[in-house]
Amino acid sequence: MKNITIYDSITIKNKNHWKQNRELKKIKNAIGGIRVKVLLVNGSPHEKGCTYTALSEVAKTLNEEEIDTEIFWIGKKPLTGCTACKSCAKTGLCAFNDRVNDFLNIAKDADGFIFGSPVHYAAAGGAITSFMDCVFYADLQGGRQSFYLKPAAAVVSARRAGTTATLDQLNKYFTISEMPIVSSRYWNMVHGAKPENVKKDLEGLQIMRVLARNMAWFLKCKEAGMKAGVQLPMKEKSIYTNFIRE
């Protein structure tokens, strides 16, 4: 596994920019280098099913590119949708202390993300949808910034149909979170009702490998850019307007 060198040449334009930039903070605080790691979320009820088989191909290829990986399974226990209690705004964690919080506690140290889901009724599975609603909302409300400018991609597994609609659904979490989406040579999908089917989906597996190499390339470019002193974008104070005004 590769050790990424410490960044010592970062220039900071102003204090506010620095404060808003937890990514830079992490880099500046790193002693002896940081490791680049991609977290891969298995949003299936099957721990070692089709989604896992696709994610494993991504992980294996990332490892070949000297990127660390961890596959995080959301598990089989019921996950509630967001109840909009907003306790996450105070604690930075979800009120329901489940796999959402387990993930939030490790997400901030990851450098890239792949979210995998089986297709259920031409959409992402119910559990991964609840999981992602709570993860992204708690992260935003709690001001964690675990996802800001970190590359992301969605991977889906279906027996037959509903894949592109599911990809559209999952990509929306990334684009609202300022995450650059990494793409492959086709839409990121594999087909199968069981892992043995996916292993025969040679095109699907190749899509996974191309995705992994593209993500590795992006992460290396980001590292090189920051090392060369390229600033992260200036952050504006958020403007938040509702459509309906009283």
Ligand X SMILES: Cc1cc2nc3c(=O)[nH]c(=O)nc-3n(C[C@H](O)[C@H](O)[C@H](O)COP(=O)(O)O)c2cc1C
Binding interface with ligand X (CB under 6 A): 44, 46, 49-51, 118-122, 157-162, 192-193
Nearer to ligand X, 92 or 118 (CB): 118
Least distance (Å) between residue 99 CB and ligand X: 16
Least distance (Å) between residue 153 CB and ligand X: 16
Nearer to ligand X, 43 or 151 (CB): 43
Least distance (Å) between residue 102 CB and ligand X: 20
Least distance (Å) between residue 200 CB and ligand X: 13
3-state SS of the chain? CCCECCCCCCCCCCHHHHHHCHHHHHHHHCCCCECCEEEEEECCCCCCCHHHHHHHHHHHHHHHCCCEEEEEECCCCCCCCCCCCCCHHHHCCCCCCCHHHHHHHHHCCCCEEEEEEEEECCEECHHHHHHHHHHHHHHHHCCCCCCCCCCEEEEEEECCCCHHHHHHHHHHHHHCCCCCECCCCCCCEEECCCHHHHHHCHHHHHHHHHHHHHHHHHHHHHHHHHHCCCCCCCCCCCCCCCCCCC
Nearer to ligand X, 55 or 138 (CB): 55
Nearer to ligand X, 160 or 245 (CB): 160
The closest residue (CB) to ligand X is 49
